[in-house]
Structure 1
Amino acid sequence: MHLVYLHAKNPNDSLSVVQTHFSNIYRHIERQLENKLIPSEDSILSYHAVSYLNWHSDEWRHPKELIKKIIQKMEPELIQDWVIEFVSNLEETYKVFTKLFNSLDTYTEFTHLLMVKKMAVFWPLVIKTFVLDRTAKKDQFCLAARLMEVFAVRGYALSGIRSDAGLSTLYAKARDFDGNYMELQALLFSMSSWWDMENRFSNSIESPTFYNQNRIDATYILWRYENYLRSQTGRKVEHLSWKHYLKPKDNATKLSLEHIAARKNPISEIVVEWDEGEPKHFYEVATHRIGNLVIDSISANSSMGLQPYFIKPCNFHYLANIFLMML
């Protein structure tokens, strides 16, 4: 507002515009104060800087200093328009967060991405792809969110790559994104194979210590798989809502990752051959594999205790895996 006052021909009119934009921004912030899923307002400002400002290296990490640097290089007569455009875009960014978090049932692909809980590298792209998608149902945005989810699950969740791997590529793409969704989709698709991701993903899924390595991510994968099974022809069971995962009513109904055959269950002592010619106890080779895991509520699992695995509430796919392990 100080810059506008110094450089505007009609400062009162321009200051009123800036004030209106910031009033709207504060309203969006107030609407989301109780929402623990939404980033902090300072984080949103950083993601906005990534998306809309002309930065180099890691200048986006300090948005106020970056803005000062941009203005210092600008011709005085251009400053007013730049400031007004900046605050207008900033309001649009906060509006994006309000729209998305008020429509989690509508934008399913985004909701799935959010559930992976690896959002820091994706927020700038989420902002730009949502704003620039002019289709009625945001189809292009949803496809981009789906590809981001694939990358997040295959890379950050199960391949063990660093949490900031690909950040510079994704941030630069968000900064330069002009609405070319096909080019963006090609990039996201190709990134899901970087860093030998396919082999690392397979090794993780097949690991005998899967439970210990990937508890949070495994819960999401099994939640997705459970809904896939429920969507099959002939199944009449309702899907598990994202609210079961992100917003449980209380701790008792919170989804947890549990063993079908528990470590202290008698089945654990059975000798099996996971690898041909190498007999070992079930607990050594199978207890912590993904085929012996199921999602359940904390209260339900507590009531099951150490009962035989076959009466736990699990689907036939999991049971089939157990029996195959025992062969």
Structure 2
Amino acid sequence: MSLLLPLLALSACKVRVTVPEGGSVISASGAHDCAAGKHCVIDVYDTTFDETFTAKPAQGYRFTGWRKRHGGFCGGNTTPCRLATTGFEDNSDLMQILESDQVFYLEPVFESTEPGDLGNEHGSVCFNRALLAEGGGFETRYRSPGGNQGYQYTNYDQVVSGRGMLNGNGGRRALIVQETEGDPGSLAESEMIFTVNGDRHRVRYYGLRTQVSRPQRINAVHSYSPYKLVRWDLAAGGEFVQNYAARVERDGFISEKDVVLTTRYLGTETIAVPAGQFSTCRVEERYVETDASGVATETLQTLWYGVGSGILLKERSEFTDTEFVSGTVNGQEL
């Protein structure tokens, strides 16, 4: 399938090819090949660029499609991706885009096909009761593709302090500061309400209040009815399904969705992130959200939590690819 760069999709003269472990990207000319684990930037200067990219999975992996994300090309397609600037000469808008300094992305998604890749340790190995107790907390730093340097960095500071109420539900209170670096970047402070059943390795989340101070001031309340449940009492391969209503109140506007969430614990896995190698619990979450008009959307995300620490170390979906860079849990460096 051929895909020419349309005006609404192309807003850059650089293409960043990001290749995860499990395969490579091959260009038809051979001039823009990109190996596993690499980030390859292609400068597009003129109207002669015409290249087709093919994702090549390594042994033991399969190609599931080009990642859907903001600024991404060929998202959702499983065929070779053709990018071309030929024909731009007679369009001043396209020529302005070609002369810009923005960056867009091309990223394949590879999945393992090897049986027995994951360990069968119980999910409770990633439940950290101390992290959710009074005074428990973490300071973490993550990166995701984006920004002028190729990555966008976000810092979190969370501590459990006292108790709170949200929509009639009482529980422990976690105070969270989230800051995304950049100019202007973003800064938000939240209060999350939850309860813990430590003996059953379960957490109920009732929602959170958030105040955003930049890039613009926003006040919002996200609530779950009756609650959103996280379970660490699953054996490898186990799953559960829950139903809840998600409500967002933002500066006087209200939106509601009915959510069906299927959570599957796949097992333990050793992964590499910028902070190093970690033993993790791999969790898959599949959301089906139906809005007030009856329109349903489905999203899938995979999350890796640290064995022992319970900290999110990696998150991947069609919209994001986030990795743990550094941090401490209850004052101890990971």
TM-score using structure 1 length: 0.23
- Report which of the two has the higher share of helix: 1
- Report which of the two has the higher share of strand: 2
- Structure showing greater radius of gyration is 1
